[in-house]
Amino acid sequence: METILKVKNLKKYFGRVKAIDGVSFEVEKGEILGFLGPNGAGKTTTIRCLLDFIRPSNGEIEIFGYSSRNPDFYKSRSKIGYLIAGSNLVEQWTGYDHLSYQEALHGESKIKNELIKKFSFDPKPKVKNLSTGNRQKLGLIMTLMSEPEFLVMDEPTASLDPILQEEFYKIIRKLSSEGVTVFMSSHNLAEVEKVCSKVAMIKSGKLITVQKISALEGKKIHSVKITFSEKVSKDLLVDKNTEIQEEIPNGFELSVKGEMDAFIKKIAKLKIESISIMQANLEEIFLEFYKK
């Protein structure tokens, strides 16, 4: 598999503030990587380094074989489409003006009108009269219309209604199937679970984990709600893999890591009144990583 993006020990310091502190990961052709983290984690700084808007303090970024350490790094930009928070739009220009400008830079777009239709965007009004959602639509159309090989997007579905979010997911999945590589930051864990093939989690400038979504889904964390017909001490239940989340009447809500066999054997001798077991979703797994 061809590797499109390589990030090696990336660091970006602003004085004493370590915005990014030794981040390393790779993204292969056709992958959709979800870049997760809370505000201030280093997501936007990482994206600005990828796009060469700011220079790293240390480390290396390689995109399409071009290294950030070499003068020809700018050549990778011709294959990249990007959407960043607070994209500069010209208030006095219409949507048509912006799209025409993109075509002047990248050539006539074969899919411009199709994107306008898919995002239900009216390109006639001036930007100063557009809502936040319509500004986001314009930014997405400008990003996608030149059919780049690598997409870098910061919170791409922000301000979009749920129907248009689903339309965006369809577009991204189709592009991925055609070999387009996608790097997208998001706060929306349901979104990442739905559309991404891989996830990278960052906190306080450090990478917590990079894993395939399928591998995360395989992490064994179960939520268990159990009640007993007689009083049971929580000491009989708690161990290194079992944690009490809440005490409820006649029982407990538990978080159980790993395979359930050991837990089931442990409670088999107890007088159980009711029990429900649910596997954790990506959000619960994500929070478990953050606790570490």
pLDDT in tens, 54-76: 999 999 999 999 999 999 998 99
Low-confidence ranges of the chain (pLDDT < 70): 86-87, 216-220, 279-292
Give 175-208 pLDDT, tens digit per residue. Answer: 999 999 999 998 777 788 889 999 998 888 999 8
* Domain boundaries, given as residue ranges, for the chain: 3-212, 221-291
Please give the single-letter amino acid code of residue 281.
N
The pLDDT of residue 258 = 74
pLDDT at position 104, please?
Answer: 95
3 state SS of 159: coil
**CATH class of the domain defined by 221-291:** alpha beta
- pLDDT at residue 219, as a whole number: 60
Instruction: Write 168-173 long-range contacts (CB < 8 A, 24+).
Output: 168/140, 169/194, 169/195, 171/118, 171/144, 172/32, 173/32
**Tokens encoding 218:** 């395989």
Q: Which CATH architecture has domain 3-212?
A: 3-Layer(aba) Sandwich (3.40)
Establish whether domains 3-212 and 221-291 are of one fold: no
Phi-psi region of 30 (alpha: psi -120 to 50; beta: other; left: phi over 0): left
SS3 of residue 244 by DSSP: strand
